[in-house]
Amino acid sequence: MGGHYTGLHESQITGLREECGVFGVYLSDCEADVSPMIYYGLYALQHRGQESAGIAVTDGLRLRYFKDMGLVSEVFDPKILSQLKGYAGIGHVRYSTTGSSYVANAQPLVVRYKGGDMALAHNGNLVNAVSLRGELEAQGAIFQTTSDTEVIANLISRAEGDDIKDVVSQAMRQINGSYAVVILTADAVIGVRDPYGIRPLCLGQLGDGYVLASESCALDAIGAEFIRDIKPGEGIAISKNGLESFKIMDSPKRALCSFEFVYLARTDSVIDGASVYRARINAGHMLAMEHPVQADMVIGVPDSGTTAAIGYAQQSGIPFGEGLIKNRYVGRTFIQPEQKMREEGVKVKLNALRETVKGKRIVMVDDSIVRGTTSRQIVDMLKEAGAIEVHMRISSPPVQYPCYFGIDTPSRQHLIGATHSVKEISEIIGADSLGYLSMDGLVRSIAETVGSDEFDALSNPYCMACFDGRYPMEVSCEAQKSLFERH
């Protein structure tokens, strides 16, 4: 089964794009039907990618799959799901960071290898994908997509051995970058996480079966019980033999993406023992301590700034209120046929609540400022609605460097935090004042949600490269050039 292109266009008004979400289910009952579970799991992960969605399942004999452009609810209906019968399967929601936006790049990617059919779904980005692709093409490989996931598929298909765990391990050891990958064969589901743990992946139990997911909120959606996070450099194989853990490679250091807690993850998820909700509340507390201001009301930019805004209000004693109303029926795919509509797009998604902001000094909390355009529009909107002051507070440090590991950030010359001082940014966006959370504040806001016996809060087991340029691994010139070409 395959999909078709729907002709939808993604919104241009967001600064940082999400990455992808992966989901996998294996049930011991061969008569079970996992496609509805995968559907709901992907629904829970929809925030991680709104460009395309796909599901692949196996009945033990053959793989069936369907994928298309659009949201999960747009791609799948009961008729399609009824044709995806199987006791094991994987799913994917995508926003492209590597590879163009068209249905051939939608996942899961289904290919043949010497063991039969195989489906792969990948969250992350390979920093050596270009060189690996060149080597594979020199060996005769023919690529059907521009996605780096196909590089992984080719490496697996060329690995030696009969044991799928050995084959996957051989392939992944050739890769540099970030990945949470779920793989489906005719009789097994496999999950692997990169040795730095940059991208999240967790394991749950559902009856006698098991579930793999990018975030724990997806386990909750189908009633699965959280077991643990997959360790950096670990593989998990689920088959008739039960659950088997195997080592891909040793972990040089932990470098979980800090932006999962700032923006990417859903608020009700827990990643590597840290509560996303509590981390955002903590960030708001620390932001209020680091950048106090006299004001009448604290508001958040929905939805990503809301939790930190509540924390800011709790710490500062300034009342929290609603100042911006979000149109929740506008997704990433609404059509904007003209440049003027793209520029005015934020007004379609957000509107100031004049009744609450008029005549007030407002503290507006958001997760980040990327280019500054959207922030300027929101500040203007609040002042047009009668706010007498707008003080902007950001629950992360200035974004100064591009991400090469699965978040679609602009190149450095387009990042306002890299090219302007805080005072200049404040003037550009029209705010009465601007304050960013410090690096130390961000680390502590996450670390304090985890028991002290887990790790030392000062050891910083997070990737902060988009803030300080200290990438957890060497980023090749080819990866930097690839990012430049995408922007």
**Between the CA of residue 28 and those of 49, 187, 201, 483, what are the distances in Å?**
30, 11, 21, 43
Q: What share of the chain is helix, strand, coil (3-state, %, to 5)?
A: 35, 25, 45
Cα dihedral 305, 307, 308, 311, rounded to 10, equals 150
Which tokens sit at 296? 């009448």
Residues 365/312, Cβ–Cβ less than 8 Å: yes
Which tokens sit at 78? 């009961």
For residue 463, the cross-strand partners are 257
Residues 129/141, Cβ–Cβ less than 8 Å: no
Give the whole-angstrom CA distance, residue 296 versus residue 289: 17
Taking the alpha carbons of 419, 424, 425, 429 in that order, is the dihedral positive or negative? negative
- The DSSP symbol for 319 reads P
403 is catalytic: no
All residues at 6 or more sequence positions from 258 whose CB lies less than 8 Å from its CB, including other chains: 396, 442, 443, 446, 462, 463, 464, 467
Give the whole-angstrom CA distance, residue 369 versus residue 417: 8
Give the whole-angstrom CA distance, residue 146 versus residue 105: 7
The terminus-to-terminus CA distance of the chain in angstroms comes to 33
Residues 45/218, Cβ–Cβ less than 8 Å: yes
Give the whole-angstrom CA distance, residue 434 versus residue 421: 11
For residue 116, the cross-strand partners are 113
Strands 109-113 and 116-126: antiparallel
Which tokens sit at 354? 């004049």
For residue 226, the cross-strand partners are 204
Give the whole-angstrom CA distance, residue 311 versus residue 305: 10
Q: How many residues does the chain have?
A: 487
Query: Cβ of 104: how many Cβ atoms within 10 Å?
Result: 16
Residues 473/249, Cβ–Cβ less than 8 Å: no
Give the whole-angstrom CA distance, residue 314 versus residue 133: 51
Query: What angle, 0 to 180 degrees and rounded to 10, lies between the N-to-C axes of helices 149-158 and 164-172?
Result: 130
Give the whole-angstrom CA distance, residue 369 versus residue 393: 10
Residues serving a catalytic function are: 20
